[in-house]
């Protein structure tokens, strides 16, 4: 069992809800970067494949944000299928609703569930698959939550989820160690939820197995975020990465300005090409498993 730490769950959840609500506008602005062919769709394709969904299936997307990978499953569950998009942030789900208007929903039902998945009442809902992209590492009790979700999964149903790998393998996280050093911040407590809480494959497998799933498999996939300049990379980080920007918030304005200037000048330097563009390779770990029933 993974080590846990004392945490004010209510304060953590409220802070998380606020951070992602504030980031929703940024995710709209940077959607083309996030969903460029070499970026997050690389992860989504693996999750869709590992979920093994078929026409008529009902799928829950945990922490769907702007609707991925849930909306990418629509064709796979058509006709007669159903996709439920859950997210803590109503602002994120509003973006998902907007995106759903771009696709043909005549043969598929899409539903939106706003709320904390660790507390959400799914009643007697029966699912064929559960997918989740870059979310379960933020859960206070990942094993317990995945176990509760498994109780709604039919025998043989699939779980397919992804998390970020270790910080040194995630390009957009390059500023984190720099920021912590500048601000003299301690590392996060062991066992606390966060961006890298499940960033090693054995630990990820352990959490899923503890939740009662079988045939647990893991793998890795690389995404690339690309920007015209280091300044644009910093703008993206500030608008789309609440776990990182939260490190800087609350400090005096001049200190914040210095931190972001140094991020632009130093953190992205290893990723700048001869053309001045910044290319950030980011490794994601995926886990897939089966509900034994």
For the stretch 161-199, pLDDT in tens is 999 999 999 999 999 999 999 999 998 888 889 999 999
Domain spanning 9-173+188-225+282-290: which CATH class is it, in words? alpha beta
pLDDT confidence tier of residue 6, bands split at 50, 70 and 90: low
For the stretch 102-158, pLDDT in tens is 877 778 999 999 999 998 888 889 999 999 999 999 999 999 999 999 999 999 999
Low-confidence winner among 67-76, 202-211, 217-226, 269-278 (lowest mean pLDDT): 67-76
| Tally of helices (H runs) and strands (E runs) in the chain | 11, 7
- Cβ contacts of 275 within 8 Å, gap of 6 or more: none
108: left (phi > 0), else alpha (psi -120 to 50), else beta?
beta
Task: List the one residue out of 288, 7, 280, 290 whose CA is nearest residue 138.
Answer: 7
For residues 271-283, average pLDDT: 97
Which of the two residues, 195 and 10, has the higher pLDDT score?
195
For residues 85-106, average pLDDT: 90
pLDDT confidence tier of residue 1, bands split at 50, 70 and 90: very low
CB 86 within 8 A of CB 59: no
pLDDT given at position 37: 97
Residue-by-residue DSSP string for 38-58: TSTHHHHHHHHHHHT--TT-E
Q: Which two tokens stand for residue 86?
A: 């859950």
Residue 39 has pLDDT above 50, yes or no: yes
- In the chain, what percentage of residues exceed pLDDT 70? 98
pLDDT given at position 7: 63
Spell out the domain ranges in the chain: 9-173+188-225+282-290
DSSP-assigned letter for residue 153 = E
Residue 235 has pLDDT above 80, yes or no: yes
CA 83 to chain centre: 18
pLDDT given at position 241: 92
Q: Is 179 strand, coil or helix? A: helix
pLDDT given at position 148: 96
CB 221 within 8 A of CB 283: yes
Peptide bond into 79 cis (omega under 30): yes
Instruction: Identify the H or E element spanning 229.
Output: none
Average pLDDT score over the chain: 93
For the stretch 51-87, pLDDT in tens is 999 999 999 999 999 999 999 999 899 999 999 999 9
For residues 18-33, average pLDDT: 91
Residue 255 has pLDDT above 60, yes or no: yes
């Amino acid at each position: 069992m993974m080590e846990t730490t004392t945490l004010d769950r209510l304060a953590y959840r409220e802070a998380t809800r606020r951070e992602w609500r504030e980031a929703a506008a940024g995710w709209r602005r940077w959607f083309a970067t996030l969903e460029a062919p070499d970026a997050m769709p690389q992860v989504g394709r693996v999750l869709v494949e590992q979920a093994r969904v078929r026409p008529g299936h009902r799928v829950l997307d945990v922490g769907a944000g702007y609707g991925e990978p849930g909306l990418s499953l629509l064709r796979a569950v058509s006709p007669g299928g159903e996709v439920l998009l859950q997210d803590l942030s109503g602002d994120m789900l509003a973006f998902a609703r907007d995106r759903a208007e771009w696709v043909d929903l005549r043969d598929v039902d899409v539903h939106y569930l706003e709320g904390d998945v660790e507390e959400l009442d799914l009643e007697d809902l029966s699912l064929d698959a559960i997918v989740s992209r870059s979310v379960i590492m933020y859960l206070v009790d990942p094993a317990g939550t995945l176990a509760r979700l498994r109780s709604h999964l039919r025998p043989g149903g699939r779980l397919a989820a992804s998390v970020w790998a270790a910080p040194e393998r995630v390009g957009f996280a390059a500023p984190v160690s720099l920021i912590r050093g500048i601000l003299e911040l301690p590392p996060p407590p062991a066992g606390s939820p966060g961006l890298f809480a499940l960033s090693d494959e054995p630990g990820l497998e352990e959490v899923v197995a503890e939740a009662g799933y079988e045939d647990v498999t893991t793998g890795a996939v690389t995404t690339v975020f690309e920007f015209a300049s280091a300044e644009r990379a910093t703008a993206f980080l500030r608008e789309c990465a609440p776990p990182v920007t939260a490190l800087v918030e609350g400090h005096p304005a001049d200190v914040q300005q210095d931190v972001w200037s140094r991020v632009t000048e130093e953190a992205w330097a290893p990723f700048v090409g001869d053309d001045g563009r910044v290319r950030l390779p980011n490794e994601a770990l995926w886990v897939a498993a089966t509900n034994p029933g």
